[in-house]
């Protein structure tokens, strides 16, 4: 390596303004990405602590560490924080901002100032959410779904919570608009649609869902708000409204939103697997188009959350069928990742461990989704902890693991320092084991009939709940080790060069950390594909 | 910094995507309208006749005219006629204010008749009528907020035109504000017949 990474500061030192102002007024996509990353990791830790408290309460039957009302508030706030403040912005807003412009050979996103505005909307949403916990009639206790009529009648602080979600939706829309425009307009010379890294393709599909679905949650939450303030009653049967309509409007956004959450994760995995298998991604176009197919089909399945809400049998059959359709592009992705591994030269570095466990966990979550998508099985499983387990398999085992994979894969790029691989592997093993113990036990006890959102339960559910809680401790230890190791890595780790993994996408060709505007005086010209590893050699460790 | 980045097509592209999000925002309310109309067709008709078509009709004319002045403002700035652009932008803002004043009187009259969300008189008229007016107030109110946002946006652009920052060479901001304004107009073009005319 010609430059010494410990001296070279890249975008950390090259800024028109210095100090904290240089960050909170910066329109540089990498700085905004890191701002997001910091906030998102903080929110994840807060949400995780609440989740641990929930598991602790369920350790054994009877009143444990909290009362029923506290329990309701805790799972609501856990959900709101994890959904709106962690998973939805996690990969797109943090790693999307960090990487999208570099990967397509651009100097920034199309609307850098709008990008900064989106971060401020996120912060405003976060402040509103935190205020909602500590003010008014107490923390919201509706569950993150805000179902009417309870959400319009409870005296807890739902108003602020829905305003927070509204604000975060605005932030998400702005990011989406920015990404779609950037991908259309700012690809560098030679970066045709067929040369886009898969991460960019998934961000593209995600951004369209963000743009097209998020306004629906905006209007729905606004209706809750006016209902509570003015008694507008559009979801109140006595005033001619319809509570089922709330569920429709809510899920028209919130189901596509799970694809906002998972698609960028799939993109991360599609980046990591070829690099650590030293093989081009199998079925590039199938992977690219299946992302769009998931985004499209995923927008038509919302009512599978409502089989038990009183829809017509016909509607249930249609939505059940459409739900099964989504499994096809998802399976295409899984098979293509596995085919990429076939006869590859597999290197089990920490990012690859997370990526492989993503495939495993997401497959379990996805198959559980089919069990829930089938109307007959769903009537039995509806509102049990099986649903909670399934959701965590897809969102935590899926997006969460992809997020950790992205942290391990790209942080050495942006900080030019490598964490300790042995500790990272240990942390991964603890997280993987703890995760499976926790959520598999949760799914099993759900099949036995344990309802979700209950703070107490019958004695026969005792053993499995205890197992799940013990699993959550293993998981927590693993997470602590992982975060500490990453933190030590970016602070004191061994300096690394610009391409520690041997990746072929553009971000590995720029210095670490990348400079302001990413590329020197000359715009890059792309001549080969994102997974064409011929001649690409990883830096010596 | 070193590279002055300018992409007018990109800016318009982004604006169009933003307009999609606005359409979807309102579409949620149109879904509610459609469902409720099929549930209470007769009560919706009764409720609709309680609205004053002259207020609604006048406001339709006002908004259509304001869209015209806005479109003319773009032509004016393309030809480099700064003063004309300023006059046309100000007329648009004036018409927006006229719309809001008109709306104020219309709503005052209706509230005077006891028709407002949460009123007992309204509740006595039956669930269909209540639902119609609740939806009407919310939809028209949300549209009114958009009128305010749009007028503010045009106000900002007008200042930039007068300072010369928006000119015949660089007028994407004016174009985008005009696009937004046309959307505000368009939403009303759907609201007006649905609430005042067809029932």
Q: Can you give the pLDDT at residue B4?
A: 60
Judging contacts by C-beta atoms under 8 Å, the chain B residues touching residue A212 are 20-21, 24
**Closest residue of chain B to A523, computed from CA coordinates:** B3
Instruction: List all residues of chain B from 10 to 69 with a beta carbon under 8 Å from chain A.
Output: 10-11, 13-14, 17-18, 20-22, 24-29, 31-32, 35-36, 39-40, 43
Indicate whether B2 pLDDT > 50.
Answer: no
Q: Can you give the pLDDT at residue A2?
A: 42
**In this complex, how many residue pairs, one in chain A and one in chain B, have their CB atoms less than 8 Å apart?**
118
Interchain CB contact of B90 with A (< 8 Å) = no
CA A160/CA A142 separation, integer angstroms:
13
Judging contacts by C-beta atoms under 8 Å, the chain B residues touching residue A215 are 21-22, 24-25, 28
Cα radius of gyration (chain A):
23
Q: Can you give the pLDDT at residue A317?
A: 93
Q: Closest approach of chain A CAs to the CA of B31, in angstroms?
A: 9
State the burial class of residue B51 (Cβ atoms within 10 Å of its Cβ: 0-12, 13-18, 19+): buried
| Closest of A522, A513, A508, A519 to residue A10, by C-alpha | A513
CA B68/CA B70 separation, integer angstroms:
5
User: Pick from B11, B127, B132: which is nearest to A238 by CB?
Assistant: B127
Q: Can you give the pLDDT at residue A541?
A: 65
Q: Do B10 and A181 touch (CB under 8 A)?
A: yes
| Closest of A322, A188, A176, A193 to residue A263, by C-alpha | A176
CA A388/CA A377 separation, integer angstroms:
15
Q: pLDDT exceeding 90 applies to what percent of chain B?
A: 86
The whole-chain average pLDDT of chain B stands at 93
Q: Closest approach of chain B CAs to the CA of A217, in angstroms?
A: 8
Judging contacts by C-beta atoms under 8 Å, the chain B residues touching residue A110 are 7, 10-11, 14
| Beta strands, E only, A104-147 | none
3-class DSSP state of A418: strand
Residue environment code for B90-112, b if the CB has 16+ CB neighbours within 10 A, otherwise e? ebbbebbebbeebbeebbeebee
Interchain CB contact of A517 with B (< 8 Å) = yes
Q: What is the third-level CATH fold of A10-508?
A: Cytochrome C Oxidase; Chain A (1.20.210)
Which domains does chain B carry? 8-197 (1.20.120.80)
Structural domain spans, chain A: 10-508
Residue ranges, chain A, pLDDT below 50: 1-6
Mean pLDDT, residues B43-50: 93
Interchain CB contact of A106 with B (< 8 Å) = no
Q: Can you give the pLDDT at residue A108?
A: 93
3-class DSSP state of A417: strand
Q: Can you give the pLDDT at residue A5?
A: 44
Judging contacts by C-beta atoms under 8 Å, the chain B residues touching residue A179 are none
Indicate whether B117 pLDDT > 90.
Answer: no
Token pair 């994407």 in the structure block, residue: B172
Structure tokens at A346: 């597999």
Q: Closest approach of chain B CAs to the CA of A215, in angstroms?
A: 5
Indicate whether B122 pLDDT > 70.
Answer: yes
Q: Do A226 and B117 touch (CB under 8 A)?
A: yes
User: Pick from A213, A223, A230: which is nearest to B118 by CB?
Assistant: A230
Structure tokens at A40: 């998102």
Mean pLDDT, residues B87-99: 97
Q: pLDDT tens across A43-92, in order?
A: 999 999 999 999 999 999 988 899 999 999 999 999 999 999 999 999 99
CA A171/CA A196 separation, integer angstroms:
25
Q: Do A239 and B31 touch (CB under 8 A)?
A: no
Judging contacts by C-beta atoms under 8 Å, the chain B residues touching residue A114 are 14
Q: Can you give the pLDDT at residue A202?
A: 97
Judging contacts by C-beta atoms under 8 Å, the chain B residues touching residue A224 are none
Q: Do B138 and A223 touch (CB under 8 A)?
A: yes
Task: Say if residues A146 and A221 touch (Cβ distance below 8 Å).
Answer: yes
Interchain CB contact of B181 with A (< 8 Å) = no
């Amino acid at each position: 390596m010609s430059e010494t990474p410990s001296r070279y500061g890249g975008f950390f030192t090259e800024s028109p303004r210095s100090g904290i102002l240089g960050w909170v007024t910066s329109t540089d996509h990498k700085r905004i990405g890191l701002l997001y990353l910091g906030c998102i990791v903080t929110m994840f830790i807060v949400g995780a602590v609440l989740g641990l408290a929930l598991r602790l309460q369920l350790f054994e039957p009877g009143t444990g560490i909290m009362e029923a009302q506290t329990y309701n508030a805790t799972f609501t706030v856990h959900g709101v924080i994890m959904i709106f403040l962690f998973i939805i912005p996690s990969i797109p807003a943090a790693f999307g901002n960090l990487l999208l412009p570099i990967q397509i050979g651009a100097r920034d996103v199309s609307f850098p100032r709008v990008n900064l505005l989106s971060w401020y909307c996120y912060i405003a949403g976060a402040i509103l959410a935190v205020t909602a916990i500590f003010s008014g009639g107490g923390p919201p206790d509706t569950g993150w779904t805000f179902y009417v009529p309870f959400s319009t009648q409870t005296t807890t602080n739902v108003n602020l919570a829905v305003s927070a979600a509204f604000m975060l939706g605005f932030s998400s829309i702005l990011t989406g608009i920015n990404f779609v425009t950037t991908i259309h307009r700012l690809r560098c010379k030679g970066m045709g649609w067929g040369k886009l890294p898969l991460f960019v393709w998934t961000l593209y599909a995600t951004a369209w869902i963000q743009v097209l679905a998020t306004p629906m949650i905006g209007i729905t939450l606004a209706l809750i708000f006016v209902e509570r303030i003015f008694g507008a009653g559009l979801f109140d049967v006595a005033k001619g409204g319809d509570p089922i309509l709330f569920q429709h409007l809510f899920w028209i956004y919130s189901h596509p939103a799970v694809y906002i959450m998972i698609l960028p994760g799939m993109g991360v995995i599609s980046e990591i697997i070829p690099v650590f298998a030293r093989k081009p991604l199998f079925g590039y176009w199938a992977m690219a188009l299946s992302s769009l197919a998931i985004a499209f089909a995923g927008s038509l399945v919302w009512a599978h959350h409502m089989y038990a809400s009183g829809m017509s049998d016909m509607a249930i059959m249609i939505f059940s069928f459409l739900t099964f359709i989504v499994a096809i592009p998802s399976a295409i992705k899984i098979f293509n990742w596995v085919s990429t591994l076939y006869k590859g030269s597999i290197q089990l570095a920490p990012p690859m461990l997370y990526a492989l466990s993503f495939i495993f966990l997401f497959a379990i979550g996805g198959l559980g989704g089919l069990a829930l998508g089938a109307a007959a099985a769903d009537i039995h499983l509806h509102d049990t902890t099986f649903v909670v387990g399934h959701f965590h398999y897809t969102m935590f085992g899926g997006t969460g693991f992809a997020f950790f994979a992205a942290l391990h894969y790209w942080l050495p790029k942006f900080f030019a320092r490598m964490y300790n691989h042995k500790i990272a592997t240990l942390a991964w093993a603890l997280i993987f084991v703890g995760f499976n113990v926790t959520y598999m036990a949760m799914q099993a006890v759900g099949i036995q009939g344990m309802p979700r959102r209950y703070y107490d339960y019958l004695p026969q559910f005792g053993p499995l709940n205890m197992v799940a809680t013990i699993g959550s401790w293993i998981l927590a230890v693993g997470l602590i080790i992982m975060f500490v190791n990453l933190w030590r890595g970016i602070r004191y780790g061994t300096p690394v060069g610009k391409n520690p993994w041997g990746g072929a996408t553009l971000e590995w060709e720029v210095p670490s950390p990348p400079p302001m505007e990413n590329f020197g005086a000359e715009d890059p010209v792309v001549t080969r594909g994102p997974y064409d590893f011929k001649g690409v050699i990883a830096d010596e460790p | 910094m070193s590279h002055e980045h300018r992409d007018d097509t990109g800016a318009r592209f982004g604006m169009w995507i933003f307009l999609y999000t606005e359409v979807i925002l309102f579409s949620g309310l149109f879904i509610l309208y459609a469902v409720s109309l099929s549930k209470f067709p007769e009560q919706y008709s009764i409720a609709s006749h309680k609205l004053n078509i002259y207020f609604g009709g006048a406001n339709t004319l006002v908004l259509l005219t304001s869209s015209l002045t806005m479109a003319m403002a773009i032509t004016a700035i393309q030809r480099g006629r700064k003063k004309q652009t300023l006059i046309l932008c100000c007329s648009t803002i004036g018409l927006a204010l006229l719309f809001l004043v008109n709306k104020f009187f219309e709503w005052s009259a209706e509230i005077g008749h006891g028709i407002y969300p949460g009123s007992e008189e309204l509740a006595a008229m039956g669930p269909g009528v209540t639902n119609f007016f609740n939806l009407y107030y919310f939809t028209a109110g949300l549209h009114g907020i958009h009128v305010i946002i749009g007028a503010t946006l045009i106000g900002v652009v007008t200042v930039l035109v007068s300072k010369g920052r928006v000119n015949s060479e660089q007028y994407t901001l004016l174009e985008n504000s005009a696009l937004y304004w046309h959307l505000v107009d368009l939403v009303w073009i759907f609201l007006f017949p649905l609430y005042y005319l067809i029932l």
